[in-house]
Amino acid sequence: MSPRPMARPGGRSARVQESVHTAVRELTAEVGREALTVPLVAARAGVTPSTVYRRWGDLQELLSDVAVERLRPDSDPEDRGSLRADLTAWAEQFLDEMASPPGRAYIRDALLGDPDGANAGQCSAYAAEQIDVVLARAAGRGEAVPDTETVVDRVVAPVMYRILFRPGGLDAGYARRLVAGVLDAPG
């Protein structure tokens, strides 16, 4: 796995984060997003509301942190033997996860409670790290590879732009066409 810049130090601070994040996830499932409040989350997590406010500022910033954790990839992209196969499979899965209703909600939460842009930057770093793995593996096989920023512009950006601004047509065929475009006409 790649390094995880979001990982927080261990000890009490890490335990508080874990219990508060868990409380948000459980309560979202039980009572829904609209009914969440800081006192409700704090009570479930066994901390005081002021602990939550001190650490996260407000509910929107807490939801943004939880969303970024949920958007963190679980594993490296699968090795299917070629750059084209690896990148196509990764792009299909990326689109599928991000365009799903929970994916859209997490992207929105990540952006909204993020005054300094750190969480949005982390979402982008997750995608770039996954692409780095695919490209490094292909280069190791002796394949010619585009650079990561080009793949971000040609595959990640259109998927995320359409999710946020221009929904519709977001299917696996679209992901495959984007990957074919960057591999066949790198520009």
CA distance 95 to 90: 9
- Distance of alpha carbon 94 from its chain centroid, rounded? 9
Tokens read off for 136: 């490094």
Q: Strand, coil or helix: what is 23? A: helix
Amino acid letter for position 119: N
Q: What is the DSSP letter of 168?
A: S
Q: Strand, coil or helix: what is 121? A: helix
CB nearer to a second copy: pick between 141 and 166? 166
Tokens read off for 38: 């800081």
The binder of a second copy chosen from 57, 81, 167, 173 (CB under 8 A): 167
Residue that the structure tokens 């999710």 belong to? 163
The closest alpha carbon to 73, from 123, 107, 114, 23, belongs to: 123
CB nearer to a second copy: pick between 42 and 67? 67
Q: Which stretch binds a second copy (CB under 8 A): 4-12, 92-100, 131-139, 155-163?
A: 155-163
Q: Any contact of residue 87 with a second copy (CB under 8 A)? A: no
Q: Any contact of residue 89 with a second copy (CB under 8 A)? A: no
The binder of a second copy chosen from 39, 166, 172, 173 (CB under 8 A): 166
- Taking CB under 8 A as the criterion, which residues in 123-152 touch a second copy? 123-124, 152
Residue 112 CB, shortest distance to a second copy, in Å, is 6
Residue that the structure tokens 């066994």 belong to? 46
CB nearer to a second copy: pick between 103 and 158? 158
CA distance 13 to 173: 44
Q: Any contact of residue 116 with a second copy (CB under 8 A)? A: no
Q: Any contact of residue 111 with a second copy (CB under 8 A)? A: yes
The binder of a second copy chosen from 6, 19, 153, 176 (CB under 8 A): 153
Residue that the structure tokens 């080009």 belong to? 150
Residue 23 CB, shortest distance to a second copy, in Å, is 24
Q: What is the DSSP letter of 78?
A: P
Q: Residues interacting with a second copy, by CB under 8 A?
A: 108, 111-112, 117, 120-121, 123-124, 152-154, 156-158, 160-162, 164-167, 178, 180-182, 184-187
